Chains A and B, each alone.
Chain A
Amino acid sequence: MTASLAPEELREYFAGRLPERLAEIEDACRAARDAGWTGQPLRTFHRLAHSLAGSGATFGFPEVSETARDLEHLLAGIMEDGSSPGEPEMREIEGFLAGLRRSAAS
């Protein structure tokens, strides 16, 4: 729980939450991959990326919102396409997750 709405308090609060949120997204990525990039696991992965995109900047992490938004859009394309991501898309997904890990570690 953040003590106040002061920017530094919000950043500290969210910095404490990021590792757990990132772990949730990485679990969702594995589940989506294991489910063949279809169905509820893929939708959950997409929703979690969307949620992080909508929250990062609110807590003073605009780079988290940007990276999560890019991931969200990529996943939306995969959902629309209805086929598994190829090598380039997998590298992009890993790149976005690596970016989020860096934000969580900083």
Chain B
Amino acid sequence: MTAPVLRRILFVEDDPDIQVVAGMALESLGGFAVLSCGSGNEALSRVSEFSPDLVLLDVMMPGMDGPATLQALRRQPATAGIPVVFMTARVQAQEIARYRELGAADVIAKPFDPMTLADTVRSIWQSLHS
């Protein structure tokens, strides 16, 4: 059985400049359909309508942070199974372990290279389905 294709990414990030560059990288280089949300609350209100294959989630955001957003996604049956990948500048080993314990599929470090972001996300997707 072939692995499902990654097409739709929900990108949750409060930094407007990162939204711009990552959105461009994922859409133009990755060919993904991307919905960018500026907060955890916005993501929760739009996730069902967008129906992403994967959620790319910033960790440190005002209000509802990344871990709280992940836990809220896990509580809803419709979104509980969507893989979530954190993006964060906090990539110490103990923090990565904590994110995985919370249910993150993987962690992408910031700052990131916009030219390779789409490939990184695609590799993570493929490893989840191998």
Question: Which positions in A face B, CB cutoff 8 Å?
Answer: 1-2, 4-5, 10, 13-14, 17, 21, 44, 47, 50-51, 53-59, 62, 65, 69, 72
Q: Provide the residues of chain B in CB contact with A10, threshold 8 Å.
A: 21, 114
The reply to whether B111 and A65 contact each other, CB–CB distance below 8 Å, is yes
Number of interface residues of B (CB under 8 A): 21
The reply to whether B24 and A58 contact each other, CB–CB distance below 8 Å, is no
- Shortest Cβ distance from residue A40 to the other chain B in the assembled complex, whole angstroms: 9
- Shortest Cβ distance from residue B91 to the other chain A in the assembled complex, whole angstroms: 10
Chain A contact residues, majority secondary structure = helix
Interface 9-mer from B3-11, B12-20, B35-43: B12-20
- Shortest Cβ distance from residue A12 to the other chain B in the assembled complex, whole angstroms: 13
Asked, given contacts A17-B17, A50-B60, whether A58 binds B114 with beta carbons under 8 Å apart, the answer is: yes
Separation of A65 and B110 alpha carbons in the complex (Å): 10
Separation of A8 and B115 alpha carbons in the complex (Å): 13
Q: Provide the residues of chain A in CB contact with B95, threshold 8 Å.
A: none
- When each residue 73-98 of chain B gets 1 if its CB lies under 8 Å from chain A and 0 otherwise, what string results? 00000000000000011100000000
The reply to whether A5 and B28 contact each other, CB–CB distance below 8 Å, is yes
